[in-house]
Structure 1
Amino acid sequence: MFNSFNALADRQLEGAVLSRDDAFAILESSDDQLMDLVAAAARLRRAHFGNAVKVNYLVNLKSGLCPEDCTYCSQRLGSAAQILKYTWLKPEEALAQAGSGIAAGASRVCLVASGKGPTDRDVDRVAAMVEGLKEDHPGVEVCACLGILKEGQAEKLKACGADAYNHNLNTSEAMYKDICTTHDFADRIRTVEHAKSAGLSPCSGLIVGMGEGNGDLVDAVFALRDLDSDSIPVNFLMPFDGTPLEGTWLLTPAHCIRILALVRFACPSTELRMAGGREMHLRTLQPLALHIANSLFLGDYLTSEGQPGQADLDMIADSGFTVLGQNPSPEASSSLPPSPARTSLHDGAASPGAPATLGALPAIRRRGAGTAVAPNA
Structure 2
Amino acid sequence: MLTAPTSRPSLDEVTSIYRSPVLELILRAAEVHRRHHAIGEVQVCRLLSIKTGGCPEDCAYCPQSAHHRSPVASEPLMDVEAVVAAAEEAKADGATRFCMGAAWREAKDDARFNRVLEMIRRIKGLGGLEVCTTLGMVTADQARRLKEAGLDAYNHNLDTSESYYDRIITTRSYDDRLETLRHVREAGVSVCCGGILGMGESEEDRIALLHTLANLPEHPESVPINALVPVEGTPLADQPRLDIWAMVRAVATARVLMPTAMVRLSAGRLQMSEPEQALCFLAGANSIFAGERLLTTPNPDVDADAMLFARLGLHAREADPC
Q: 1:267 aligns with which of 258, 269, 277?
A: 258
Is structure 2 residue 300 aligned with structure 1 residue 298? no
What CA distance in whole angstroms lies between the structure 1 residues aligned with 2:9 and 2:286?
20
Which residues of 2 match residues 57-72 of structure 1 at below 5 A? 57-72=46-61
Q: 1:42 aligns with which of 24, 30, 40?
A: 30
What CA distance in whole angstroms lies between the structure 2 residues aligned with 1:294 and 1:191?
26
One-letter identity of the residue aligned with 1:296: I
Q: Structure 2 stretches of 5 or more lacking a match?
A: none
Give secondary structure in 2 for the equivalent of 1:174: coil
Q: 1:186 to 1:283 in 2, by over 3 A?
A: farther
Is structure 2 residue 300 aligned with structure 1 residue 307? yes
Residues 45 and 268 in structure 1, CA contact (< 8 A), matched pair in contact too:
yes
What CA distance in whole angstroms lies between the structure 1 residues aligned with 2:253 and 2:12?
12
**Identity fraction in percent:** 35
**What is the match of residue 56 of structure 1?**
45
What CA distance in whole angstroms lies between the structure 1 residues aligned with 2:276 and 2:13?
24
One-letter identity of the residue aligned with 1:63: T
Residues 14 and 210 in structure 2, CA contact (< 8 A), matched pair in contact too:
no
What CA distance in whole angstroms lies between the structure 2 residues aligned with 1:207 and 1:322?
26
Is structure 2 residue 135 aligned with structure 1 residue 146? yes
Considering only CA atoms, is the larger Rg found in Structure 1 or Structure 2?
Answer: 1
**Moved beyond 4 Å, runs of 4+:** 14-19
What CA distance in whole angstroms lies between the structure 2 residues aligned with 1:182 and 1:204?
19
What CA distance in whole angstroms lies between the structure 2 residues aligned with 1:177 and 1:17?
26
Give secondary structure in 2 for the equivalent of 1:181: coil
**What is the match of residue 123 of structure 2?**
133
Provide Cα deviations, 1:10-66, integer angstroms capped at 9, x if missing partner.
Answer: x33x9776553443344445xxx4333322211111211122111111011011110
Give secondary structure in 2 for the equivalent of 1:173: coil
Which residues of 2 match residues 65-214 of structure 1 at below 5 A? 65-121=54-110, 122-136=112-126, 138-214=127-203
Report how many residues are paired.
313
One-letter identity of the residue aligned with 1:256: M
Residues 270 and 298 in structure 2, CA contact (< 8 A), matched pair in contact too:
no
Moved more, 219-228 or 278-287: 278-287
What CA distance in whole angstroms lies between the structure 2 residues aligned with 1:221 and 1:180?
19
**What is the match of residue 229 of structure 1?**
220
What CA distance in whole angstroms lies between the structure 1 residues aligned with 2:8 and 2:143?
31
Normalised by the size of structure 1, how large is the TM-score? 0.79
Provide Cα deviations, 1:171-203, integer angstroms capped at 9, x if missing partner.
Answer: 111111111111100000000110010110011
Q: 1:92 to 1:177 in 2, by over 3 A?
A: same
Query: Deviation of residue 321 (structure 1)?
Result: 2.0
Query: Deviation of residue 73 (structure 1)?
Result: 0.7
Query: Deviation of residue 282 (structure 1)?
Result: 6.0
Residues 17 and 266 in structure 1, CA contact (< 8 A), matched pair in contact too:
no
What CA distance in whole angstroms lies between the structure 1 residues aligned with 2:7 and 2:179?
28
Residues 287 and 316 in structure 1, CA contact (< 8 A), matched pair in contact too:
no
**What is the match of residue 277 of structure 1?**
268
Residues 225 and 263 in structure 2, CA contact (< 8 A), matched pair in contact too:
yes
**What is the match of residue 362 of structure 1?**
none
**What is the match of residue 11 of structure 2?**
20
Give secondary structure in 1 for the equivalent of 2:164: helix
Give secondary structure in 1 for the equivalent of 2:297: coil
What CA distance in whole angstroms lies between the structure 2 residues aligned with 1:263 and 1:60?
27
One-letter identity of the residue aligned with 1:225: A
Give secondary structure in 1 for the equivalent of 2:215: helix
Q: CA RMSD in A?
A: 1.9
Provide Cα deviations, 1:222-251, integer angstroms capped at 9, x if missing partner.
Answer: 111122211100111111110011110152
**What is the match of residue 245 of structure 2?**
254
One-letter identity of the residue aligned with 2:303: Q
One-letter identity of the residue aligned with 2:11: R
One-letter identity of the residue aligned with 1:130: I
Query: Deviation of residue 84 (structure 1)?
Result: 4.6
Query: Deviation of residue 271 (structure 1)?
Result: 1.0
Residues 154 and 191 in structure 2, CA contact (< 8 A), matched pair in contact too:
yes
**What is the match of residue 354 of structure 1?**
none
Residues 57 and 101 in structure 1, CA contact (< 8 A), matched pair in contact too:
yes
What CA distance in whole angstroms lies between the structure 1 residues aligned with 2:171 and 2:6?
39
Residues 9 and 211 in structure 2, CA contact (< 8 A), matched pair in contact too:
no
